[in-house]
Amino acid sequence: MKLYHIWTTLENRLEDMVDIRRYLHMYPEVSYHEFETANYIANYYDQLGISYKRDFGGNGIVATVTGTLPGKTVALRADFDALPIQEETGLPYASTVAGVSHACGHDGHTAVLLTIAKTINEHREELAGTFVFIHQHAEEITPGGAKSMVEAGCLDGVDGVFGTHLWSSMPSGTVNTCPGPMMAGADRFEIKIIGAGGHGAMPHTTVDAVTLGAQIVSTLQQVVARRINPTSPVVLTVGSFHAGHAFNIIAGTAEMTGTVRTFDIDVREEVIVEMERIIKGLCDAAGATYEFVYTRGHPPVINNVELSRFIDEVVEDIPQIATPSHMAPTMVGEDFSYYLNAKPGAFFFTGAMLTEAVAYPHHHPKFNFDETAMVTAAKTLATVAIRFNDEN
Binding residues are 104, 106, 140, 165, 363
Q: Which residues contact 47 (CB under 8 A, 6 or more apart)?
A: none
Annotated binding site for Mn(2+): 104, 106, 140, 165, 363
- Based on the residue annotation, tell me whether 88 is a catalytic residue of this protein: no
139 has catalytic annotation: yes
* Among 81, 87, 264, 335, the one annotated catalytic: 81
**DSSP bridge partners of 185:** 262
Whether the link from the prior residue into 143 is cis, omega within 30° of 0, is: yes
- For residue 349, is it left (φ>0), alpha (ψ between -120 and 50) or beta? beta
CB 380 within 8 A of CB 315: yes
Residues 369 and 105: beta-carbon distance below 8 Å: yes
Instruction: Report helix, strand or coil for 211.
Output: helix
Spatial separation of the C-alpha atoms in residues 50 and 66, rounded to whole Å: 10
- Dist. CA 92–CA 103, nearest whole Å: 15
Is the torsion defined by CA of 334, 336, 337, 338 positive or negative?
Answer: positive
Which of these is catalytic: 139, 270, 335, 370? 139
Catalytic residues: 81, 139
